[in-house]
Structure 1
Amino acid sequence: MNQKLTRRGFLKSASLVALGGMFCNSACAARPTAIHGLRFGRAKPFSFDSLIERAAAMARAPYVSPPKPLPDIVQQIDYDAWGKIRYRPDYALFANGPSLYPATFFHVGQFFQKSVKMHVLEQGVAREILYSPKYFSMPKNSIAHKLPENTGFAGFRLQESRKRDDWRTQDWIAFLGASYFRAIGALGQYGLSARGVIVDSAEPTPEEFPDFTEFFIDGAPKEDQPVSVYALLNGPSLAGAYHFSIQRAEGVIQDVEMVLFLRKDIARLGLAPLTSMYWFSEKEKRRLEDWRPEVHDSDGLAIWNGSGERLWRPLINQPYAVTSSFSDQGPKGFGLLQRDRVFENYLDGVNYERRPSLWVEPLDDWGPGAVQLVELPTDDEIHDNIVAYWRPEGPASAGNSYRLRYRLHWMADEPYPAQVARCVATRVGRGGQPGKPRPRGVYKFCVEFAGPALDPLWGNSVKAEPIVTASSGTVSGAFIEPVPGTRRWRALFDLAPNGADPAELRLYIRGNGDALTETWLYQFRVRPD
């Protein structure tokens, strides 16, 4: 995939007609145009550099919140009412070309109350797409009919290629709400989200949610070209400019270039953030929690650190907000993954087994910092309670600026598989041995690994052992064995915790002095059933 969008040559008159007559000479540049139903504002010059300059200027000025049209009315557009307001595909941007991927727009509602400006971009010229209620299909009794003509949009999404018969009903990436966006993976499902930035997540003070306030959409006329989207971000503590170069591949590949300017000190600044949901799985499901075996959009955090070590940290539904930090220098990548792809482990028609994994690949040397994982408690699947991001070293002080490039892989798995075996299951139960008195306060851990790196264990040509450490408590009885009926191996050990102190556990299988598996990390604390 090209890291930068190759600019097209100047479109001649036939292409201008196909684009909807959005660009014209100076005589018509001062008035809105209306071709093929969509209305556009005045033509204005645009470049990413100019957008960065706007963000820098905004950060030097007091914060101004995006407009909220008639809050009393919008508040009444609840989830059900909002779901009945649908954008008409015939009004899609690029419905007649030249881009292969038409854009449709979201209506404001109770959960998306702020207006976001939308622009179409071509050859360094931008025009705002002017809102009209006629773009939307809505019930006659919808409260949304009371909104004014200048209400504005809440976000947008890209539909599948116009070459597909189902493009009007199938989309593949969406930007909606604050700085959130998400894409489908290789298995055709939406799941976790990415965000533009994290500000003070899991801090004593309320978290801040900056907004993408303007978007500029440039289409892709060929299948092998990415769609280019630019965004302006603003929040009480910072402002920023983003360039997304997005390619519809087996899943979705998305290059991101971002520039941030801080107007205030920030206690916790998170870059390249990912947001997901984890309720429970096979390892620590509580009694009578739910009838399904597992419920989660992601089941673990994977890290490929700067020294080349592969780490796997299963997600946990914590009893309170917990932040884990994994210090690093120049990380090679990290991601929230959905490794369990077996339908019988979910038994749910919402297809948790097909949710995408999302991997962050730095395109520059990010220097020193830490991958941080925030886990919040949840008692339902409707809440996103997991956040992972990169926190650069040093204080995030007013006046600082940050420029970062990275690639997002919305896929079924990691884009760069490890040579060592990977963790595929974590199970926790009572310690001791079946058929014998179980020691009180002792817990058994069973960690399963799979991969070709373990094949030599079957022929006994490699002497292997589990390497287990704990920050607190006592580890005993560690050994490995094959999992019957599979090509997997598992490591088992007992842990006697030190009272209520949480234990940071670390495990890998070593053979002939080399690591045969990735390193499994886990935070365990004693909790009532």
Structure 2
Amino acid sequence: MLTAAPPSASVTRRALLSGAAGVAGLAAAGLPPIRLVHAQDQGPVSVFDTLIDKAARLAGEAYQPPPVTVPKTLMDLDYDDFRKIRFRRDQALWRGEVPFELQMLHLGGYLRSPVSVFSTENGAITPLTYRPGLFDFSDSRIDPAGFGDIGFSGVRVHYPLNRHDVMDDLVVFQGASYFRALCAGSVYGLSARGIAVNTAHHDGEEFPAFTELYVERPDPLARSIVLHALLDGPSVTGAYRFEITPGATTRTTVQARLFARQPVPQLGMGVLTSMFDFAPIDRAGVDDFRPRVHDSQGLSIQTATGEWLWRPLTNPDRLAVNTFSLQGPKGFGLMQRMRAFPEYQDLEARYHLRPSAWVTPRGDWGAGEVVLVEIPTPDETNDNIVAFWKPAQPFEPGQPLSLDYDIDWTLDDPDHALAWCHTTLAGRFGVVGVPVSESERRLGRKWVIDFVGGPLCNLRDAGVVEVVASVGGGRIEPPVHTLNDLSGGVRVYLDSVAEGDGPMNLRCHLARGGTPVSETWTVQWRADTAA
């Protein structure tokens, strides 16, 4: 699922080195693997360093869109038919030799430009070439005869994530700069991206692509696997190093080195892409047996000052962009907090097992914004949520950018000492049976927020904490709060009235003696979108 229909996973078959033949040419010629060496023949150099040099060089050249080489029979496949082309598991690279296996992914549908894939070991690079025998076409009604070396659309790594005798999906790199990973006990949900260029910007969004993927052969006792990628697009080039460590929390450690071909008005890093269709906070016009449908429930942010923000997601009726200005963020993520099946009632999608993804910067990222983009979607088939870090410093040619960070794919939230927002509910303003004015009926909204955990554990008197609430673009009634003996926390009732049809921004947290004891709940609401 994508935020929009992006260009295919654009690829150029440029050589890794500056020689005329290049690695892809070696593959076609059936030549042995090459070895990266310094010009002075001082020994092996890293793939990452070489890709950084290549990305810097490409940034000084005009962008060359890759040719589309996929046969028409593959281009015409719909989503369901495309999925019927399966990699033969007995053809997986390193099968039975190391803890990880590598599978290649087929081209087809909107994935129309091949990605060059290589395996690396001790500086030696081996091109991985396409052949129909790697795939099972028996359910697809596709005849691969005559395809030739059409290439791959991406790669998938397998690992015994849940049982020692079963090789589970671990991480997939496929389509533009998209990738997604699993932790133990989870199913695929939200995705990450290497970069976002002009998302929700009036200049129009670009989808730079990982055009070359290099996967390091792990050691027999390895706990992690390393993959490198070359990024190329009209406005930006880059080199990436990914180290994926599987477990109850699967960590993807990312090193990114970026170069601008031309000024980029809005650059997004640490990009997370997800889906939110509806939940109790947002069920206007929904006729569905399921209580909620989403891959992610909300955006969580940890600031450098120690404040934790929680922004429940919505499915707006128009494009919505919220920004959170920060200096040196500690982390942010799109989180799936509801973990009980009855909250979703979906036996097929199993939304209660969709992982959260938490981005932790390595080093000081300086000033910038966490940007949340919410795009209207009619159903759950489209990713309509994007969250990313936008550096305050403009990204322009001649000013390379380096950012390192971790993405934790997990079924848990990050640990913090504060109570957290478990549930957000919304409904009509006021109290049943008490008349309200016409403006309060049209512009008012009641919010019900459940805070649990942390300092609220074993709380016996709700009066020892106070509600701190504020609003922009409206007014709020004095909040009411009470113990919630079912959640083991505190429930807050907050009635608000907007000043007009424009957005109203609310904030609320619990405090004790003036000190916050909960994260800060925040939401934006427009009166003209009310049910």
**SS of alignment partner, residue 409 of structure 2:** strand
Structure 1: 5+ residue runs without aligned partners?
1-28
User: Who is 2:153 aligned against?
Assistant: 154
User: Who is 2:215 aligned against?
Assistant: 217
Distance 2:174 2:217 in 1: 19
Distance 2:457 2:429 in 1: 29
CA-CA distance at 1:112 after TM superposition: 1.2
* Aligned CA distance change for structure 1 residues 141 and 368 (closer, same or farther; 3 Å): closer
* Aligned CA distance change for structure 1 residues 233 and 33 (closer, same or farther; 3 Å): closer
User: Who is 2:10 aligned against?
Assistant: none
CA-CA distance at 1:252 after TM superposition: 1.2
> Is contact 1:74–1:144 with CA below 8 Å preserved after alignment?
no
Which amino acid is the alignment partner of residue 65 of structure 1? P
CA-CA distance at 1:230 after TM superposition: 0.5
Identical residues among aligned pairs (%):
37
Q: How does 1:433-512 map to 2 (within 5 A)?
A: 433-439=431-437, 440-441=441-442, 442-455=444-457, 457-459=459-461, 463-512=464-513
> Is contact 2:24–2:116 with CA below 8 Å preserved after alignment?
no
Distance 1:179 1:270 in 2: 12
User: Who is 2:193 aligned against?
Assistant: 195
Which amino acid is the alignment partner of residue 274 of structure 2? S
**SS of alignment partner, residue 80 of structure 1:** helix
**SS of alignment partner, residue 112 of structure 2:** coil
Distance 1:59 1:285 in 2: 46
**SS of alignment partner, residue 398 of structure 2:** coil
User: Who is 2:166 aligned against?
Assistant: 166
Distance 1:244 1:366 in 2: 19
Distance 1:374 1:455 in 2: 34
* Aligned CA distance change for structure 1 residues 230 and 438 (closer, same or farther; 3 Å): same
Structure 1, 314-323 or 72-81: larger mean CA deviation: 72-81
CA-CA distance at 1:80 after TM superposition: 2.2
> Is contact 1:40–1:128 with CA below 8 Å preserved after alignment?
no
Distance 1:30 1:174 in 2: 22
* TM-score, reference length from structure 2: 0.88
User: Who is 1:265 aligned against?
Assistant: 263
* Aligned CA distance change for structure 1 residues 86 and 455 (closer, same or farther; 3 Å): closer
**SS of alignment partner, residue 210 of structure 2:** strand
Distance 1:388 1:147 in 2: 43
Distance 2:84 2:140 in 1: 11
User: Who is 2:80 aligned against?
Assistant: 80
User: Who is 1:207 aligned against?
Assistant: 205
CA-CA distance at 1:399 after TM superposition: 2.8
* Aligned CA distance change for structure 1 residues 212 and 41 (closer, same or farther; 3 Å): farther
Which amino acid is the alignment partner of residue 384 of structure 1? D
Which amino acid is the alignment partner of residue 503 of structure 2? P
CA-CA distance at 1:222 after TM superposition: 4.5
Is 1:382 aligned to residue 373 of structure 2?
Answer: no
User: Who is 1:43 aligned against?
Assistant: 34
Distance 1:281 1:120 in 2: 44
Distance 1:134 1:67 in 2: 24
User: Who is 1:111 aligned against?
Assistant: 110
Distance 2:514 2:525 in 1: 28
> Is contact 1:465–1:511 with CA below 8 Å preserved after alignment?
yes
* Aligned CA distance change for structure 1 residues 66 and 188 (closer, same or farther; 3 Å): same
**SS of alignment partner, residue 418 of structure 1:** coil
Is 1:370 aligned to residue 391 of structure 2?
Answer: no
> Is contact 2:27–2:128 with CA below 8 Å preserved after alignment?
no
Which amino acid is the alignment partner of residue 307 of structure 2? E
Is 1:517 aligned to residue 512 of structure 2?
Answer: no
Distance 1:469 1:446 in 2: 15
Q: How many residues align?
A: 492
Which amino acid is the alignment partner of residue 513 of structure 1? G
User: Who is 2:93 aligned against?
Assistant: 93
User: Who is 1:429 aligned against?
Assistant: 427
Which amino acid is the alignment partner of residue 126 of structure 2? R
CA-CA distance at 1:47 after TM superposition: 2.6
User: Who is 1:331 aligned against?
Assistant: 329
Which amino acid is the alignment partner of residue 285 of structure 1? R
**SS of alignment partner, residue 479 of structure 2:** strand
Deviations 1:348-404 (A, max 9, x none): 011101100000011111011111111111111010000011100122223321101
**SS of alignment partner, residue 456 of structure 2:** helix
User: Who is 1:343 aligned against?
Assistant: 341
Distance 1:270 1:144 in 2: 41
Structure 1, 479-488 or 189-198: larger mean CA deviation: 479-488
* Aligned CA distance change for structure 1 residues 40 and 192 (closer, same or farther; 3 Å): farther
Distance 1:491 1:303 in 2: 21
Is 1:357 aligned to residue 348 of structure 2?
Answer: no
**SS of alignment partner, residue 458 of structure 1:** coil
Is 1:405 aligned to residue 404 of structure 2?
Answer: yes
User: Who is 1:290 aligned against?
Assistant: 288
* TM-score, reference length from structure 1: 0.89
> Is contact 1:115–1:154 with CA below 8 Å preserved after alignment?
yes
Q: How does 1:273-284 map to 2 (within 5 A)?
A: 273-284=271-282
* Aligned CA distance change for structure 1 residues 225 and 324 (closer, same or farther; 3 Å): same
Structure 2: 5+ residue runs without aligned partners?
1-22, 37-45
* Aligned CA distance change for structure 1 residues 140 and 378 (closer, same or farther; 3 Å): closer
**SS of alignment partner, residue 270 of structure 1:** strand
User: Who is 1:16 aligned against?
Assistant: none
Distance 1:220 1:466 in 2: 52
Distance 1:446 1:30 in 2: 58
Aligned-pair Cα RMSD in Å: 2.2
Which amino acid is the alignment partner of residue 43 of structure 1? I
Structure 1, 330-339 or 280-289: larger mean CA deviation: 280-289
User: Who is 2:58 aligned against?
Assistant: 58
CA-CA distance at 1:94 after TM superposition: 0.6
Distance 2:236 2:77 in 1: 30
Distance 1:298 1:216 in 2: 30
- 306, 310, 313: which one pairs with 1:312? 310
Deviations 1:431-455 (A, max 9, x none): 2112333442322111110013114
Distance 1:420 1:524 in 2: 25
